[in-house]
Amino acid sequence: MIIPRKVLAASLLVLVLAAAAYFLVFKKGPAEAGQQAVGAAAGEAAAPAPGAPEEKTEAAPIPVKTTPAHRGDLVMTLKSPGEAYTDRKITLKNEVGGWIKNLYVREGLHVKENDILVEIEDTEYRLRLEKQQALRLRYLSEYHLEKQFAAKEQDATPEALANLSKTQAEHDQALAAFQAGKITAAELEKSQRAYELAQIASGRKKDEIIATTKNLTGAEIDVKTANRELEKTVIRAPFGGILTDIKVSARERLDGGREICTLVDISRIKVKAKVLESEIGKMQTGREVDLHFSAYPGKVFKGVVEAVSPVINTEDKTCAVHIAMNNVNEQIKPGMHAEVEIAAEIHKDRLLVPQDALLVRGGRKLVFVVENGIAKWRYVEIGLENEHFAEILPSTEPGWGIAEGEQVIIEGHFTLAHDAKVQAKQ
C-alpha cells in the first residue's frame, strides 16, 4: 500500500506539534528545579538544629488595683424620696396705711436683720404723736396742781393697816399657789382684788386714783399708741434672707394689711423624707444623712436627722423625718427633689472589704489578695452588706478568709487566675 506523500507530511507535522506541547506543559525546566533547590536549602537553614533549647518569653505582670481590708463601722442605710423646704419664710405686710415714701425692695435682694425695706409717709403719724404728747402734758400739770393744793392726807386707821397686811399675805400665798398649779386664775384674781381694795382704804393707791380721775393714765396710753404707729411707718427685715415676690411699687398708696413681699432664709435648709412605719424604730435624731439632688448629679450633700414626726400617715403608713443641712452657698432651693440615704443601723468594728473585691466562682464567694506580687484567691464567708462594703466573717475552713490589712484586689481581677503575677497599685 502506497501512502501519499502529502498525507505522510501532514502526519509527521502533527506528531512534532504534540511532542512540543508535552514538553512545554508537563515537564519542568531546569530554572524551576533550581529555584526549588534554593528554597529547600533556605528552609533547612531556618529550622532549629536538632536538640537545641527553646527560648521562652516571660509574661508581663497584670496591673491591678488594691485596697487593704480594714475594720470599721458598717452603716446600713434607708433610702427615701424627699423635698427641700425652709421654715424661715414670711410674708411681710404693712400695719399702717399711707403713701410709700421710699421703697428699698427688689427681687432676689439679700438683706440683713433690721435692714429698712419700706418707709411710709409719716407726717400724719408725727402730728398725731405730738398732739397726744401735748394732751398728756396738760393732764400731768393738772395732776401736780391737785396734789399741791389738796388737803393733807390723814393717817390710815390701825384697822385699815392691819387689813392691808392680812390681804397682802393672802395675796402672796395665792400667787405662789397659782404658780404651783394649785388654784385657778379666778381664785387668784379674787385675792388680788381684795388686796387692791385694802390698799385704797389705807391710802396707798391715792396717787393712782387721782391720776386716773384726771385722765393722765389714758393720755399716757394714747402717747404710747401714737408712738407705736409712727414706728410702724418703717418696715424692717425681721431676719436676714432673700426678698422675693414683690407686690408693691414706689409711690403707691397702701391700706393697712397689704402684702409687701416675701422674705426667705435658705442659709439652712430642711428636707422632709418619708420612712415606712416598719422602719421608724431605726430612726434616731442626730444621725448623719446623705442627700442627692437632681440638680447636682454625682454630688453628695450632708445633713442630720433633726426630728421624727410623732404621727403616722394613715393613708400610706409612712412617717415624716425632718433633716437639716447647711446651705451657705444657697445651692439648694426650697421645693427641690432629693434622694435621701439615712443611717438606720450602725454595726461597730467589723472587718470590711469593698463590694468591688467580691467575685463568685463555682458558686462560692471569694476575693483575690496579693502576696509578694502573686494573686491568691481566698474563699470568704460574707456577713452583713451595704451598697459599698461587705463584712468578712471569721472562717473555720483551712485556707479561707482574710486578715485585717491584707491587700485585696478591686480592679483587674475578673479574669484573673490563681497564682498570676500582678503589679498592684492603690
In the block, residue with C-alpha cell 452583713: 384
Contacts of 24 (CB under 8 A, 6+ apart): none
User: Facing residues of 67 across strands?
Assistant: 408
| Shared domain check, 114 and 136 | no
| Shared domain check, 217 and 151 | yes
pLDDT of residue 205: 62
The predicted model gives 214-231 an average pLDDT of 85
Tell whether 55 is covered by a domain: no
| Shared domain check, 333 and 286 | yes
Query: What single letter denotes the amino acid at residue 154?
Result: Q
Q: How confident is the model at residue 37 (pLDDT cuts 50, 70, 90)?
A: very low
Select from 268, 269, 272, 346 the least CA-distant residue to 309. 272
In total, how many domains does the chain have? 5
How far apart, in whole angstroms, are the C-alpha atoms of residue 68 and residue 402?
A: 10
Question: How many Cβ atoms sit within 10 Å of the Cβ of residue 370?
Answer: 17
| Shared domain check, 82 and 36 | no
Domain boundary among 317, 348, 379: 348
**pLDDT > 90 fraction of the chain, expressed in percent and rounded:** 49
Tell whether 242 is covered by a domain: yes
Of 126-135, 210-219, 403-412, the poorest mean pLDDT is in 210-219
Tell whether 56 is covered by a domain: no
Give the residue with greater pLDDT, 147 vs 13: 147
Tell whether 133 is covered by a domain: yes
DSSP secondary structure of 233-289? TEEE-SSSEEEE-----TT-EE-TT-EEEEEE--SEEEEEEEEEGGGGGG--TT-EE
Give the residue with greater pLDDT, 270 vs 417: 270
Range of the domain at 420: 65-71+349-425
Q: For the segment 118-147, what is each residue's pLDDT rounded down to a tens digit?
A: 999 999 999 999 998 888 888 777 766 666
The predicted model gives 46-57 an average pLDDT of 50
Tell whether 49 is covered by a domain: no
In the block, residue with C-alpha cell 536538640: 51
User: Grid coordinates in use for 364?
Assistant: 462560692
pLDDT of residue 28: 45
Contacts of 146 (CB under 8 A, 6+ apart): 210, 214
Q: For the segment 252-261, what is each residue's pLDDT rounded down to a tens digit?
A: 999 989 999 9
Domain boundary among 179, 211, 230: 230
Contacts of 388 (CB under 8 A, 6+ apart): 354, 355
Phi, psi of 158 (to 5 degrees): -60, -35
Any alpha helices (H) in 284-381, and if so which ranges?
none
| Shared domain check, 357 and 280 | no
Tell whether 52 is covered by a domain: no
| Shared domain check, 137 and 192 | yes
For 256, half-sphere exposure in the C-beta direction (CA atoms, 13 angstrom radius) is: 4
| Shared domain check, 395 and 415 | yes
Asked whether 293 and 338 are in contact (CB, 8 A), the reply is yes
Q: How confident is the model at residue 330 (pLDDT cuts 50, 70, 90)?
A: very high
How far apart, in whole angstroms, are the C-alpha atoms of residue 365 and residue 380?
A: 6
Domain boundary among 348, 374, 405: 348
| Shared domain check, 109 and 22 | no
| Shared domain check, 221 and 136 | yes
Asked whether 101 and 248 are in contact (CB, 8 A), the reply is no
| Shared domain check, 327 and 416 | no
DSSP 3-state of 374 = strand
Asked whether 92 and 260 are in contact (CB, 8 A), the reply is yes
The 8-class DSSP code of residue 328 comes to T
**How many angstroms separate the first and last alpha carbons of the chain?**
108
The predicted model gives 11-18 an average pLDDT of 51
Q: Is 216 exposed, middle or buried (0-12, 13-18, 19+ CB in 10 A)?
A: buried
User: Grid coordinates in use for 95?
Assistant: 400695719
pLDDT of residue 280: 87
Residue 248 has pLDDT above 80, yes or no: yes
Using a cut of 0.75, tell me whether the model's pTM lies above it.
no
Phi, psi of 414 (to 5 degrees): -65, -35
How far apart, in whole angstroms, are the C-alpha atoms of residue 302 and residue 83?
A: 15
How far apart, in whole angstroms, are the C-alpha atoms of residue 139 and residue 91?
A: 41
